[in-house]
């Protein structure tokens, strides 16, 4: 059993679960389907291939910088290549300047392969959309750990800037990975667990627990001049 940490930070990222053609949403944090899609691209798994081995991994997110929810508009041709075809105005939401730690936990051999693939991916990697490239490398030499998912997320170095402050960090973690009751925790569901190849767009509900937690060990006290 291993846990792999993946830093997800960039000018723009989008993690949709309810998107339609003309209205593309984003969740406030990375989705399991989105991160597994990134993993599949790194490993060279085609969209028509099974991903049950990836879906079996546990998943969790730590929100270091939530970013600013924004949206823009695109004009899309309804039937490309057809003379006289109309166009549609589409709305696309995204998170600006956000930073997260995503954690995958489970089969050690699979996660070791994924760790290596993030360093030299088969296909280009992005943060939810092809145009949203990461601002920092997704591979880190010390990202693969032998600890539990939640302990590993708590210990990950901060992705915040000094101006972001040292307030609580928000967590959204698979419920089965939370060892006991947590103060102010909120149960919920996400429809982002792939149950078929990505080309089929079939997702099951995933039980999650969300909460905010202070991590003072990530923020050493400031030295006061004598």
In this predicted structure, what is the pLDDT of residue 184?
A: 87
* 215/158 Cα distance (integer angstroms): 9
One pLDDT digit (tens) per residue for the chain, 226 residues: 899 999 999 999 999 887 655 667 889 999 999 999 999 999 999 999 999 999 999 999 999 999 998 877 556 565 555 555 566 667 788 899 999 999 999 999 999 999 999 999 999 999 999 999 999 999 999 999 999 999 999 999 999 999 999 999 999 999 999 988 888 899 999 999 999 999 999 999 999 999 999 999 999 876 656 5
Domains located in the chain, CATH noted: 2-216 (3.30.70.2660)
Please give the pLDDT value at position 225.
Answer: 60
pLDDT of 128 reads 93
Structure tokens at 117: 């693939």
User: What's the whole-model pTM score?
Assistant: 0.90
pLDDT of residue 17: 81
Amino acid 113: pLDDT: 98
The secondary structure of the chain, three-state, reads CEEEEEEEEEEEECCCCCCECCEECCCCCCCHHHHHHHHHHHHCCCCCCCCHHHHCCEEEEEEEECCEEEEEEEEEECCCCCCCCCEEEEEEEEEEEEEEEEEEEECHHHHHHHHHHHHCCCCCCCCCCCCCCCCCCCCCCCCEECCCHHHHHHHCCCCCCHHHCCCCEEEEEEHHHCCCCCCCCEEEEEEEEECCCHHHCCEEEEEEEEEEECCHHHCCCCCCCC
């Amino acid at each position: 059993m291993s846990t792999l940490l993946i830093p997800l930070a960039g000018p723009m990222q989008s993690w949709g679960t309810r998107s339609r053609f003309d209205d593309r949403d984003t969740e406030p944090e990375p989705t399991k389907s989105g991160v597994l899609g990134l993993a599949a691209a790194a490993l060279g798994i085609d969209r028509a291939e099974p991903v049950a081995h990836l879906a079996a991994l546990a998943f969790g997110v730590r929100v270091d910088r939530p970013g600013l929810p924004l949206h823009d508009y695109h004009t899309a041709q309804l039937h490309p290549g057809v003379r006289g075809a109309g166009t549609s105005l589409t709305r696309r939401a995204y998170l600006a300047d956000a930073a997260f730690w995503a954690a995958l936990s489970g089969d050690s051999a699979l996660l070791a392969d994924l760790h290596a693939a993030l360093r030299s991916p088969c296909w280009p990697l992005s943060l939810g959309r092809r145009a949203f490239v990461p601002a920092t490398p997704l591979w880190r030499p010390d990202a693969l750990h032998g600890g539990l998912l939640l302990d590993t997320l708590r210990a990950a170095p901060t992705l915040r800037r000094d101006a972001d402050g040292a307030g609580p960090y928000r967590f959204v973690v698979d419920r089965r990975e939370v060892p006991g009751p947590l103060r102010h925790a909120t149960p919920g569901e996400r429809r982002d667990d792939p149950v078929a190849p990505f080309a089929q767009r079939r997702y099951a509900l995933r039980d999650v627990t969300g909460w905010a937690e202070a991590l003072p060990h990530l923020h050493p006290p400031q030295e006061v001049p004598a």
